[in-house]
Amino acid sequence: MRAHLSVLERNLAQSIETGVELHDSRTSIGLVLTDGAFVGVAEIAPQRLSLNGDAALVDLLEHLERIAIPRFLSVRTRNAHHPYWAQIPALFGNDSVSRASAALIEGALYDGEVRQLGVEQPNVLRGIVTGSLLGSPYIPPVTPSVSMVRVKVSPSVDSSAFESLQRLKTPVVLDYNASCPTVSQVREHVALASAHCPVAFVEQIGVVGDYTAHYQLRDSGIHLSLDESIRSMQDIRNVVRYEAAAYICIKPARVGGRSIARAMIEEALQQGLTPYVGGFFETAMGRYANAELVSQFNLGPSDVLLEGQVVTRADFEKVRDSIIANEWAPVGIFGGP
């Protein structure tokens, strides 16, 4: 079996400022696994720097090259067949780089084992787009495919920035990215936004694992969501135990891949929570994988859009073909032949 690792650096169509960093470009990591007639491809798009518990690009590449891919290939050699896709997370640890590595390898196996055998087109019609009220406010175009607008905010957001929402009829999400506003600031920002459009919920107020502000706001009438704090099944149980949120964002690359994300979505639904699938500014390949999960569980607005449109199978195949054709910058080839 051979593993071909590559990267694609791209500028985002619009820079998105958050309370903790500026999203202006992204480097996607592509993986092609070949084993005889088997071909599987996947992508993840990690952050440049480690932040809020997520792995950095350079650390993830090092882990893939030195640990994850060699370990996976050794299992393939020992068993004379590659592992089933859902078995991959069990090969690695529970730290952020291990989870992201598992998600990439699992995604490539899933692509070759399942998706290429004729999985139906995801039945997803609408999703979330992302803007920001920080710096120079940016509100993305609201196409018919947009059912919710996520806007980045922070404790330092200018009150005048909320006027950018005045022509918006679509519900918004105020995303703090763990920038730790006070409860009073959250209440003020929700009031400012609500003067112009509906506020669907407020996302990730405190640092990872800190539910204090969420607990204090539980009876405020403000709907709450957690994003960076959701990494495991135990996190979901903690959300229920501490009444920390009604909505949770599950990102496959953060939790360890599709199989774990699927189990976490099932658990969240059983616990009465409203899960949605989040992204890391992926290409159409990663967004299509998100759409498959959304469609499978009939979830609400999630990160399945690119430039305001739901990604299609054709969009996905175009990116897949470009990775197979070695159009991305090579990192390394492992195994053989």
Percent above pLDDT 90 for the chain:
84
CA end-to-end distance (rounded Å), the chain = 7
How large is the average pLDDT for residues 62-76?
Answer: 97
pLDDT at position 15 is 76
Contact predicate 288/311, CB 8 Å? yes
Q: How far is CA 185 from CA 54, 159, 208, in A?
A: 26, 11, 19
How large is the average pLDDT for residues 113-140?
Answer: 90
Phi, psi dihedrals of residue 19, rounded to the nearest 5°: -75, -10
pLDDT at position 31 is 99
Q: How far is CA 337 from CA 2, 10, 104, 161, 327, in A?
A: 6, 31, 21, 57, 20
pLDDT at position 3 is 98
DSSP annotation of 182 reads -
Question: What is the overall mean pLDDT for the chain?
Answer: 94
Q: Is 159 exposed, middle or buried (0-12, 13-18, 19+ CB in 10 A)?
A: exposed
How large is the average pLDDT for residues 116-122?
Answer: 80
pLDDT of residue 72 exceeding 70: yes
> Binning pLDDT at 50, 70 and 90, where does residue 103 land?
very high
Percent above pLDDT 70 for the chain:
99
Q: What pTM does this model have?
A: 0.95
Name all domains of the chain by residue range, CATH numbers in brackets. Answer: 2-119+316-335 (3.30.390.10), 127-314 (3.20.20.120)
* Residues pairing with 276 in the sheet: 249
pLDDT at position 18 is 74
How large is the average pLDDT for residues 15-25?
Answer: 73
| Per-residue pLDDT tens digits for 296-305 | 999 999 999 9
Q: How far is CA 251 from CA 24, 150, 229, 260, 261, in A?
A: 20, 16, 11, 10, 7
| Per-residue pLDDT tens digits for 134-149 | 989 999 999 999 999 9
pLDDT at position 19 is 61
Half-sphere exposure of 39 (CA within 13 A, CB side): 7
pLDDT at position 21 is 67
> Binning pLDDT at 50, 70 and 90, where does residue 20 land?
low
| Per-residue pLDDT tens digits for 151-178 | 999 999 999 999 999 989 999 999 999 9
Torsion of CA 9, 301, 321, 101, to 10 degrees: 60
> Binning pLDDT at 50, 70 and 90, where does residue 126 land?
very high
Question: d(Cα 283, Cα 147) in Å, to the nearest integer?
Answer: 20
How large is the average pLDDT for residues 319-323?
Answer: 97
